[in-house]
Amino acid sequence: MEKTDVLIIGGSAGGIVAGMTARRHYKDAKVTVMRKEKEGQVLVPCGIPYIFGTVGAPEKNIMPDALLSGNNIDLIVDEATSIDREAKTVSTASGKSIGYEKLVLATGSAPIIIPIPGKDLENVFCAIKDVDYLNGLLKTLEGVKDVAIIGGGFIGLEFADEFRKRGLNVTIVEMLPHYLQLVFNEDFCTVAESRLKEAGINIMTNDKVEAVLGEKKVTGVKLASGEELKTDLVFIGLGARPNTELAQKADLQMGETRAIWVDEYGRTSDKDIFALGDCAEKSSFFTKKPSALRLASIACTEGRIVGANLFELKRRNEGVIGSFATIIGDSGVGMAGLTEAAAKAAGFDIVTSEVKTPDKHPGSMPGAKEFGVKLVFERATQEILGGQVCGGLTVGEVVNVLAALIQNRMTANQVATFQYGTHPFFTPSPIPYPIVNAAEAALLKL
């Protein structure tokens, strides 16, 4: 029987970071990652949509195995099939038994597939993290013209934009009144929808796909409204569900969101087993209630917490803030924390403020775009709860700044006076700097 001090099951972003962090904190420990993917086949999760337009192939969207070998982390390519918690062993599909002192479950998630007629027809795809599967989708795209995408969230929009770059006729069907409605206020949703229309993407809201049509291969989709769309390919982009089969077989406690329950240190109901990433339950930074947020960035943060806590509790998880952005063409939208609607739903008495300014200075600089920021503050404490951003290619890093302000529970006055750097090519002017000016505007209401 093989033995290791730390066994990490799952070799995507969160598992890799947990291994690297364990190596930094416990230099003498034997650290092993077990995953199903062969060497050189672990995909960058957030880069998957860009395989089909910008990048061009799954093989160009791979995380290097040197992240493991360069940090003296052993790799086992195999599938874990069961956990014996009493013996502290993991059995594998190849018949091996591996002993561990500490076990980390980083088994990720799988795409949500709605149970509609026709979902098993040829040319129905989703975002499965597998090189061969995605190469199959890439090859299929070469012979199609019309694509229907089910779901107007981040996944649906990013795939739609990339499919359109291939010259395909793309329609996104969303059952809610707006795309991205679960993460943005209506005004920012309409900005994203305008960018999609400008990119030549057909948008349909307040409707849903009831059936995929065709005998062997897709020929169309039937909508709840009664309309039928001709299409050669259907892509389902409805999010992901936690992959907890292994944990359930081991009788570990599940959480309210059907993910693996963990405490603030990342420990499961078994003190020698940790869980992180999409398979592990989250709690909200703001309300401490269970959260269904699943992001690679969150998985990496949890990897840094779990990796440090394996043999000594060093780091605490304060809950997920939620920080994300996406790009449509050359325009970005992003957010961190709570939207106005989410803050109200959580019971906060809030004040909001919004400003717009060019994202370069002067505004006549080449490539300058209008940059909008909307901030949400709690009235009683004046602490920042959230922020939304729209503009150019700098949106992603501005969202990260907002997340840092939120995590440090900064007040409107502190946000209005935080120190920042500017440059004509990279940022708005220091005079109307949007985060600061939005905080100043909120102070007038507070």
Pairing of strands 2-9, 31-35: parallel
Outline which parts of the chain fall under CATH 3.30.390.30.
323-445
* Fold of the 113-238 domain: FAD/NAD(P)-binding domain (3.50.50)
Pairing of strands 209-213, 220-223: antiparallel
What pLDDT shows up at residue 24?
Answer: 97
- Which letter does DSSP use for residue 37 in this model? S
Outline which parts of the chain fall under CATH 3.50.50.60.
2-110+241-309, 113-238
What pLDDT shows up at residue 324?
Answer: 92
Instruction: List, as one string, the DSSP characters of 295-323.
Output: -HHHHHHHHHHHHHHSSS-------B--E
What pLDDT shows up at residue 201?
Answer: 96
Mean pLDDT by 10 residues, the chain (446 residues): 96 97 98 95 94 94 95 97 98 98 98 94 96 96 97 95 96 96 90 92 96 96 96 96 98 97 98 98 97 96 98 98 92 95 96 96 92 97 97 93 98 97 94 96 95
Q: Which CATH superfamily is domain 323-445 in?
A: FAD/NAD-linked reductase, C-terminal dimerisation domain (3.30.390.30)
What pLDDT shows up at residue 187?
Answer: 87
pTM for the structure as a whole: 0.95
Map residue 55 onto helix, strand or coil: coil
Note whether 241 and 254 are within 8 A (CB): no
* Fold of the 2-110+241-309 domain: FAD/NAD(P)-binding domain (3.50.50)
What pLDDT shows up at residue 329?
Answer: 86
Note whether 308 and 25 are within 8 A (CB): yes
Say which residues have a Cβ less than 8 Å from residue 335's Cβ, sequence separation at least 6: 183, 184, 188, 322, 323, 324, 325, 386, 387, 388, 389, 399, 402
Q: Tokens at residue 124, please?
A: 């129905």
What pLDDT shows up at residue 5?
Answer: 98
What pLDDT shows up at residue 37?
Answer: 95
Instruction: List, as one string, the DSSP characters of 225-241.
Output: TS-EEE-SEEEE---EE
